[in-house]
Amino acid sequence: MRSINSRFVSPKLLQKVLEERLNSRVDAMVETGLVQELLDFHRRYNEQRIKSNTSADYTTGIFQSIGFKEFHAYLVLPEEERREKKGKELLEKGITDLKQVTRRYSKKQEKWVMNRIIRRSDRQVPPVYVLDCTDISKWNNCVYEPAVTIIETILRGEKPEQKPINESVENQKFNDSSNEEKHFCDICERVFIGDYQWDIHMTSTKHMRALKRKKRLEQQKEVEENR
């Protein structure tokens, strides 16, 4: 069952409620120690980096994940500067940026659910029912009780009065990446689904660098064999 939104509630209200909850979630994460956790991780990372005599690389891995890169400018400040005006401003900016990317990510999740589940017509997707959870004070009436009714009706082998959202959906999709051809790049040793992703990879800077590196190694090997 899906309680993200409801056809009985205006889209503007739904978006407003969702954004408020996402912002509150970020605030709760900060209040329960998110920043200190990031500081501790950043400190351990640099301690290990110094021991292994390697340079800092903040362009890959966890440093590019949501919830970390937004605070990068704050984390790299000396401890005393983090307590000053500049540090406080960067911390607030990090929190604001985290809220923004969290809201953006929720839209991507919503789109993924619609395209991969709700609009699917080429595979067996179970009925998906919409429940209104915009007002938590009405949880029992709007979510819990309707959900129990739907489940009990289905268990009796009957059809619920409420129609599933994917019963008469517009803009149905008849295929997705699971049906597309797989391509394997011998150079990068990676699998790509569909021609679109494959074409992008084949012209990407990363692939071209790997291709040049492989050709250079082959040329060096050929020179050594001919000596």
- pLDDT tens readout for residues 14-36: 889 999 999 999 999 999 999 99
Q: Which two tokens stand for residue 207?
A: 């692939």
Return the pLDDT at 35: 94
Percent of the chain's residues with pLDDT above 70: 89
- pLDDT tens readout for residues 119-167: 877 667 888 998 999 999 999 999 999 999 999 999 999 999 999 988 8
User: Do residues 6 and 14 lie in contact, with contact meaning Cβ atoms separated by under 8 Å?
Assistant: yes
Percent of the chain's residues with pLDDT above 90: 42
pLDDT exceeds 80 at position 86: yes
Q: Would you place residue 6 in the very low, low, confident or very high pLDDT band (cuts 50, 70, 90)?
A: very low
Stretch 192-217: mean pLDDT, rounded?
A: 86
Q: Would you place residue 179 in the very low, low, confident or very high pLDDT band (cuts 50, 70, 90)?
A: low
Q: Would you place residue 81 in the very low, low, confident or very high pLDDT band (cuts 50, 70, 90)?
A: very high
Q: Kindly report each contact of residues 33-37 with a partner whose C-beta sits within 8 Å and lies 24 or more positions away, as own/partner.
A: 34/67, 35/71, 35/74, 35/91, 35/94
CA-nearest of 126, 125, 116, 95 to 22 is 95
Return the pLDDT at 176: 53
Return the pLDDT at 5: 42
Half-sphere exposure of 135 (CA within 13 A, CB side): 7
DSSP category for residue 126: P
